[in-house]
Amino acid sequence: MYPAENVGRSLLPASPTALPQMSYDEFKQMLGGLRGKPVLVNFWASWCSPCKQEAPVLAQMAKQYAGKVQFVGVDVADQPAEARAYIHKYGWTYPSVADPKYEIRRGFGLLGQPDTILYDASGKQVWQAPGAITEASLKTRLSHLTAS
């Protein structure tokens, strides 16, 4: 579960390509501000082949679930120019933060990327998937979280 502090206060980056560098603690604070809506966190890098495989799926699902699920990317050990080009190439509409020294990834206990974590509206982790995700698996998880 992510922390409850900053609930209702958005610390999200202003644009998909802003890519502010964040510490693990800052990232967890940002997640706390998102409580009240399901959140999908995806760890990625422009140089990662499986990340390229899942990038179009993430773009499509983020658009389909806009307003219902907040997508957030964590760009791991990347160069800013390459990361921004990647975001543009795949048409991502959601923000990412930079994790140049693996601090956020390590804080989550992850070893590589891509890795995707899904939280429900209360901030409880409900799913984690290492490796490239498929449209079918992601759609199933998101539809269960957003069904009302």
At residue 130, the 3 state secondary structure works out as strand
Cβ atoms of residues 94 and 16 within 8 Å: yes
Instruction: Assess if residue 148 is contained within a domain.
Output: yes
Structural domain total, the chain: 1
pTM of structure: 0.92
Instruction: Assess if residue 58 is contained within a domain.
Output: yes
What span, in angstroms and rounded, lies between the C-alpha atoms of 89 and 101?
24
86-128: per-residue pLDDT in tens? Answer: 999 999 999 999 999 999 999 999 999 999 999 999 999 999 9
Cα 5 to its chain centre, rounded Å, is 19
What mean pLDDT is predicted for residues 19-39? 95
Range of the domain at 144: 42-66+134-148
Instruction: List, by residue number, the catalytic residues.
Output: 48, 51
DSSP string, 51-66: HHHHHHHHHHHHHHTT
Instruction: Assess if residue 17 is contained within a domain.
Output: no
